[in-house]
A and B are shown apart, each in its own frame.
Chain A
Amino acid sequence: MTSLGGGEYVIEVLYIISAALFILSLKWLSSPATARRGVFAGEIGMALAIIGTLFYKGIVDYKWIAIGLVLGTIIGVPLGRVAMTAVPQRTALSHAFGALCVTLVGTAEYYQRTPSVPKFTMSVLSLEVILGALTFTGSLMAAGKLQEILPQRPITYKGQNFVNLAMLLVAIVIAVTLVRDPSRTALYPPMVLISLIFGVMLIIPIGGADMPTVISLLNSYAGLSAAAMGFVLESKLLIVAGALDGASGFILSVNMSKAMNRSFTNVLFGGFGQLQTTAAAQEARPVRSATAEEAAAILSAAGKVVIVPGYGMAVAQAQHKVRELYDALTKRGVDVTFGIHPVAGRMPGHMNVLLAEADIPYDKLLDMDQVNGDMPQTDVALVIGANDVTNPAARNDHSSPIYGMPIIDVDKAHTVMVIKRSMAPGFAGIDNLLYYLDNNLMLFGDAKAFVGNIVKELSGNSGGH
């Protein structure tokens, strides 16, 4: 694109407009009030870019473009219509699609240009393909774990990090060799293959609760590989879109790792699922429990209630029952809000989407810092399907593996009620000190059924209070 003809100017101008629309699109996403306008801006930007590309003079055959666009739409529509609970695996799957797309384009470019590939182009091309290939298989693994096709339990073995690092190193050595001599085409397939295997190995040690961090990280990788592709194709629009996506994934990864109290290097080198603790044999300590009737009485007498949902709520499909509880309490004049920990759910913001789907107004969905300030003035904190993110050991117990992790301070509320199937420890395998506190009541049972019973109790004596 060194000398631009008249037609190419048009293409470039369309690309600049769509890059601007992409930035506006993300800017409007900052608030729920303007967010849908943001999607619209993104759609227009995308349409302009695709229309512009169709005028590219190198195109000799429109048949395959048309087939690709039609087939892509046929596949894309059902992927856009999945249930909200399936959004994490859908997102992982689309990371895989995007990464495979980038890897294929990079591979085609390599075989087209070899043996005369400039050093810089070959470097970014290698980066594009390595990141693309590992994101492709890594995201497929993540999607499989989220869909529960693959075991969710982390698979670890001795020397795992060493094997992974060695593989990555080999891929990089091959890449460097190719940069010095791009004509050695025999080295290209092994580089891709090792990256594909590396993607698998990176995800096998990761358990379900670490998924928010992993999805964010894969998002970042997908963005960076697209930006690298922009350098290969000398397309500034691709560089902009890739940089935006990379930045978004990076910010989310940092947020998630902070929320889990992991260092960012720990995340980058795939140090997930390392939180295996030797859950010391706890002597049976007394806990207090309550029935649905008692819980309903406490809730209806409260002035301010904070509900703390976790992934367990989504697993039990309890969100619609929770909405009924919200309605019943709000009708009685109780102020009900939701306190959502950043890593609640299987991807960033997942819990908000599920609660919004259950018609809970978004201004009632508060983040950790917002609810923690008000916790001492809260009458009842109701924990549904969350565990480790409410454990006061993270604040007080220096020896705890989760010490330092930011938590929702439900223990500071006047009364805490925890709906839980049994006393089994959470994901991190740590005993939750919350359950033994004097102001804590355990509500043993299935989240959906128990919340349903509370609602029944509340509506049964609605005349009271």
Chain B
Amino acid sequence: MKADLISSLYVFMLAAFIGFEVIRRVSPLLHTPLMSLTNALDAIAVVGAIILAGEQKSQLSTILGTSNIVGGFIITDRMLKMFKASKAPKQ
């Protein structure tokens, strides 16, 4: 196995652990925005699509990825805007 591959596996392992620890702390209150936000972030796949589009290979994937990024961020922010504390936020 190439060294680059091994370092990629390390990155995956560490990112998965960080993901678990960070997301475990997200309040169930915000699980819907969590899903729409991770959905938008996941659309980072668009970087692969952009490179392909730039090499004149696949255009549709750039459109799909971009619409997920734009739509995902918009709706997450709209949802989060609605969450208001009553007077002084508790916790």
Contact = CB atoms under 8 A, between A and B. Distances in A.
Interface of A: 1-2, 18-19, 22-23, 25-27, 29-33, 35-36, 38-39, 42-43, 45-46, 49-50, 52-54, 56, 58-62, 64-65, 67-69, 71-73, 75-82, 84, 87, 90-91, 94-95, 97-98, 100-102, 104-105, 108, 112, 120, 215-216, 219, 222-223, 226-227, 229-231, 233-252, 255, 340, 342, 347-350, 352-353, 356-357, 359, 361-365, 367
A98 B25 CA distance: 25
A62 B40 CA distance: 23
A105 B12 contact: no
A348 B37 contact: no
A98 B39 contact: yes
B29 A87 contact: no
B8 A247 contact: no
B45 A226 contact: yes
B29 A352 contact: yes
A248 B55 contact: no
Instruction: Determine chain B's interface SS by DSSP, over half rule.
Output: helix
B45 A105 contact: yes
A361 B66 contact: no
B30 A32 contact: yes
B67 A72 contact: yes
Contacts of A91: 32, 35-36, 39
A307 to B, nearest CB: 15
A76 B68 contact: yes
Interface of B: 1, 4-5, 7-8, 11-12, 15-16, 18-20, 22-86, 89-91
B16 A68 contact: no
Given A23-B22, A76-B67, A342 B12 contact: no
Contact of A65 (B32, B48, B54, B72): B54
B54 A59 contact: yes
A97 B71 CA distance: 11
B57 A244 contact: no
Contacts of A87: 32, 36, 75, 79
Contacts of A29: 26, 30, 33-34, 37
A50 B50 contact: yes
Contacts of A98: 39, 42-43, 45, 64-65, 68
B59 to A, nearest CB: 5
Given A73-B70, A105-B49, A240-B11, A247 B5 contact: no
Contacts of A361: 84-86
Nearest to A27: B22
Nearest to B81: A36
